[in-house]
Structures are given as structure tokens and as C-alpha cells.
Amino acid sequence: MTVRSSTGSYEIVFDTPDSALREIPQGAYVITDENVWAAVEPWRDRIERANCLVLPPGEQSKSIETYERCVRWLAEHRASRRSPVVALGGGVIGDLAGFAAATYMRGVPLLQIPTTLLAQVDSSVGGKVGIDLPDGKNLVGAFYPPTKVLVASGFLATLPRRELINGAAEVWKYGFIMDNALVEALEAEPIESADVEPIIRRCIELKARVVEEDEHETTGLRAILNFGHTVGHAIEKVQGYVGLKHGEAIAIGMVAEAWLSRRLGLCEESVAERVAGGLAKQGLPTAKPERVTIDALVEAMRRDKKADREGLAFSLLTGPGACKLVQNVPERDVIEVLSRCWA
């Protein structure tokens, strides 16, 4: 599968874990985390020819401090402009290593090897890389497409069930915003019992279609990929990026934003009910975490990248498998919806 970008096309290659790791070039610079490093132990000899940096897992590693550690490591190990950086891991590692690759020596080759469902269906494709600030998620970053993405669904067998279900949130998202048939398939057979590779391929096809048309978010089309993310990112920020996983927070956000879609008259009530029911059946959370206040969430949403001086912005559903960016959403409507759907 080929994805077109402004800097040239790159390939999405479906492979086995063994073959994917064998593609890591000699002398490459692999950035991964402790969980992935333990999970790839059966294949670790495939990457003995590479330099490896193993970081603590979790969203906390998407920080300025860890980013500095990555680029200083590259410099200390004499990485050159031709030295490939390999992001081996989930969404956090892909974003962090990708941003290091985008900025070290003004850009070095980037190979993405996503090992989680969330990274395989979403974050490894499209060229968004970045880190978080205390003020908000992904506030420092770049558009930096990889040279190649190696997708090995066999890595998913190493995941705990919670991590697999976490990634399923992004799969459902693609169905809700672009592909009603995908929603119907997930309703019939939850992700953990399905043949997952065709699902991964379909999600990548959908994302590729969007990013090829609006790579740098200039038309508003790419913003539909953020359905559930305005509320979800706010939850993550208020929780200090501990507690809920990214997909879990996005699932809660999708339910809230589906009901906001309904309040603004963009979709029927049945659409919002279907979002809530499908995610709950998948085993994802759908209610606000305890000790997270609506006021704190609204304050965090004001710092969302889509917001402006005129008000909040959301990617909202307009029907089954349809979505659009809506700007200048009154805060009173957001507060009313959050109060009702989490009552």
C-alpha cells in the first residue's frame, strides 16, 4: 500500500514480526520502550546490528526531557544525516522517535514499526509526530512522513487484552466517521475475536485517503480524524497523562462528542446511542473518570489545537459513517451535554 505525501510517497508493508525486525538496517538507531523491549525478546537477535535506546513506557515519555534524551543520544552515538531512526513501539514511541528524527540535523530517515493496534491502525501513518507540554497534548510537533511503515499484526499477540481493546477505540472511530460497514462488522464480531489484519488494512486505507487530501490540516478534512479527541485529550491532560490509556480516553470522548453532535442537530439520537452502545460492548469506558470535573475539562479544551479565540472546535458526527469539523461551539452547549451524558 502506498501513501502519497508532499515530500514523496512511502510504503505500508504488511509483514511478520521476524521479517519486520530483519529490515532494520545495520547501524540504525532504534528507539523503543521497556515493555516492547521485553515483548520482542524472541526476535531481539534480529536487531543486534542496531543501536538501541530503551525508554520508560507511557505517555509521560512524550516530554521535552525525554525528547532531549533522544536527540542527545543520537548525537553522542554520532548519528549522521543518513542514519535511520527506527520507532519500534506504540503511539508514544512513534510520536517521540518521529519528532526526534524530524528535528535531529533538520531531519533524518524514519522507519516506523508499530507494535500496538492503536499505532498500526492510526498513529504510525500520516506523518504527525510530536511531544506533549504541561499545557496540553501534542503542542510541539511536526508533519514528518516516514520512509516506510512495517505493519506486523503478529506483534499484537504480545499485547495484554487491555492494550488491544485500547487500540480498538481508534478502529471504531474510523467506522463512526467514514465507514458504517466497519461499524456493522465490529458490532457483529468484537475486535479480539476478529481476523484483525483486514481491519488494520481498512483503517489504514481510510486514513491514507484523508491525509493524502489534507496532509497539513489546511482544509479541515483531516480534522475528522480527531473525533472524540477534543474531550479525550482534555481527560488525559486533566489526569496528568496517568490512569486512562489514550484509546480509553478517546472512547469516552467519542460518546460525549456524539451526544454533542445530537444536541447541535447534526445527527439523529440513534447515532449517539449506537456510539455509546458499541464502545461499551467492546469493553471500553464511556463515562467520565472520578475526580475529573467538567470545569477542568472545558479549561483544557480551550487549549486544544483546533480551538481559537472564537470558541471550541470539535469533529462531530453528521450521520452513520460521516463526520465534519465544527468550529465556534458554545461552551454552554458543551457543558450541558457533558453534564447530561455523565449524570
Domain-wise residue ranges, the chain? 2-157, 165-190+215-341
Closest CA to 326 of 261, 253, 234: 261
Class of domain 2-157: alpha beta
The pLDDT of residue 220 is 87
Closest CA to 125 of 228, 30, 212, 20: 212
Output the pLDDT for position 310.
72
The CA dihedral of 272, 329, 122, 322, to the nearest 10 degrees, is 50
Is residue 10 classed as helix, strand or coil in its secondary structure? strand
Which of helix, strand or coil describes residue 64? Answer: helix
The pLDDT value recorded for residue 107 is: 97
Cell of residue 57, nine digits: 513506557
What confidence score (pLDDT) does residue 115 get? Answer: 97
Instruction: Show the low-confidence residues of the chain (pLDDT under 50).
Output: none
Burial degree of 166 (CB within 10 A; 0-12, 13-18, 19+)? buried
Per CATH, the architecture of 165-190+215-341 is what? Up-down Bundle (1.20)
| Cβ atoms of 252 and 288 closer than 8 Å | yes
pLDDT at site 309: 67
Residue 158 and residue 119 in contact, taking contact as beta carbons nearer than 8 Å: no
According to DSSP H, which parts of 150-245 are helical? Answer: 161-178, 180-188, 196-213, 229-238
Burial class (CB in 10 A: 0-12, 13-18, 19+), 195: exposed
- Any alpha helices (H) in the chain, and if so which ranges? 17-22, 34-39, 64-76, 91-103, 117-118, 161-178, 180-188, 196-213, 229-238, 246-263, 269-281, 294-301, 331-341
Can you say how many angstroms the Cα of residue 1 is from the centroid of all Cα atoms in its chain? 20
Cα 143 versus chain centre, distance: 14
- Best CA proximity match to 122, nearest among 157, 91, 158, 86: 91
Helices (H) and strands (E) in the chain, counts: 13, 11
Tell me which amino acid residue 336 is. E
The structure's pTM equals: 0.93
Let me know: does 117 contact 89? Beta carbons within 8 Å. Answer: no
